[in-house]
Amino acid sequence: MLTAKQHELIRFIQQRLEETGISPSFEEMKEALDLKSKSGVHRLISALEERGFIRRLANRARALEVIRMPEDAVPAAKRSAPANDSVSVARAAQPAMREPANDVIEIPLHGRIAAGAPIEALEGQASMPVPAALLGPGEHYALEVSGDSMVEAGIFDGDYALVRRTDTARDGEIVVALVRNEEATLKYLRRVNGMIQLDPANGAYEPQVYRPDEVVVQGKLAGLLRRYH
């Protein structure tokens, strides 16, 4: 039997996986559960892992997989699965997944996201093939990540960020933000005391705080591609 916090965490992880295809960062989980430190998140994840509800994917940063949901999260019609049929129980507990898509979509590749280079300045004729299964609804573009300011969110130098175009975002989402119409950056977005705070995911960097009129959201992170050489 899971505790209330364990229930809350696995539901949050599953919701984020359904929305973005990426498991939430430890910072996002800490804030979502109103915990004081990331050590509490580590304990909850370890407990869920020991009980067979989630597993960590080896050799991948920020990668969690929900194996099964708690029994009370399964619709009543699904609960008739035999108790000794672990495969049937796991399938019933998981939300319906889309069929794998073999289609490839060409999306604009706007170059490296770096200081002093607004998104508009990077637009050109380059494009990037992306499996359709990685993209949700809406218009998307890709950016090559430069730097290490988001490594604790599993985003590394040289990765390709798949971004859904939008000019709105909720607190805690990773966005492409254009600052003072000069600098494009990939950061967590937060609203604090009437100001816009752009948070890195690297303890070596400080949050950046701006007036609302100095920041324009140009998209939200929808996925990542990584090349292994």
Give catalytic residues, as residue numbers.
149, 187
Sign of CA dihedral 63, 68, 69, 74: positive
By CB atoms closer than 10 A (0-12, 13-18, 19+), residue 3 is: exposed
**110, amino acid identity:** H
Determine how β-strand 183-192 pairs with β-strand 104-113: unpaired
Dihedral, CA of residue 41, residue 150, residue 215 and residue 127, to nearest 10: -130
Cβ proximity of 174 and 188 under 8 Å: yes
H-only helix segments in 73-145: 86-93, 119-122
The pairing of strands 104-113 and 140-145 is: parallel
Q: Where are the alpha helices (DSSP H) in 74-225?
A: 86-93, 119-122
